[in-house]
Amino acid sequence: MHPRHRIDLTEPAHLGDRDGYSPPVHRYAPAPGLADLVRRYWMPVWSLPEGRATVQRVLQYPVCQLVVAPSYALLVGPARGLSTRELTGSGWALGAMLQPAAGALLLDGPVSAVTDGAVPLDDLAHVDGPALAERVRDQK
């Protein structure tokens, strides 16, 4: 993602842990040709001391997200309420927050099938999940 496409939003959705820590989340605008499908890209990056863990808490938008990390690649459905993920060591994830209803295009059906859940990108008919994940991981 090109630095000129970086957007810096103050996101109250990313909540600090009990010590007030929340990893930095870099946000980028999509290319104009993708703006009808992608609201924005986001990328948290963290490096925690050995033995330390934190729980990332996020109030979700009611949309689907494509998420690629070193160990998984998923289409994540809307979450009702707060979603959490434990972070340890050093890591990153790259996500594409989709526009409302864009998830239904990828699923060939209702988003309710992935509400409060996720499906591997490999399972999507309209996305070459393995190739997408490999391209993202190769950029690291």
Q: Is 71 helix (H, G, I), strand (E, B) or coil?
A: coil
What are the structural domain ranges in the chain? 3-70+81-138
Query: What's the whole-model pTM score?
Result: 0.86
Contact 94/117 with Cβ under 8 angstroms? Answer: no
Q: Does 13 or 58 have the greater pLDDT score?
A: 58
Phi, psi (deg, nearest 5) at residue 95: -125, 150
CB atoms within 10 A of CB 110: 10
- Under the banding of pLDDT at 50, 70 and 90, the label for residue 2 is low
Q: How far apart are CA 12 and CA 59, in angstroms?
A: 8
CA distances (Å), 32 to each of 19, 36, 48, 78, in order?
A: 39, 8, 35, 24
Contact 13/59 with Cβ under 8 angstroms? Answer: yes
- The predicted model gives 51-74 an average pLDDT of 92
CB atoms within 10 A of CB 119: 17
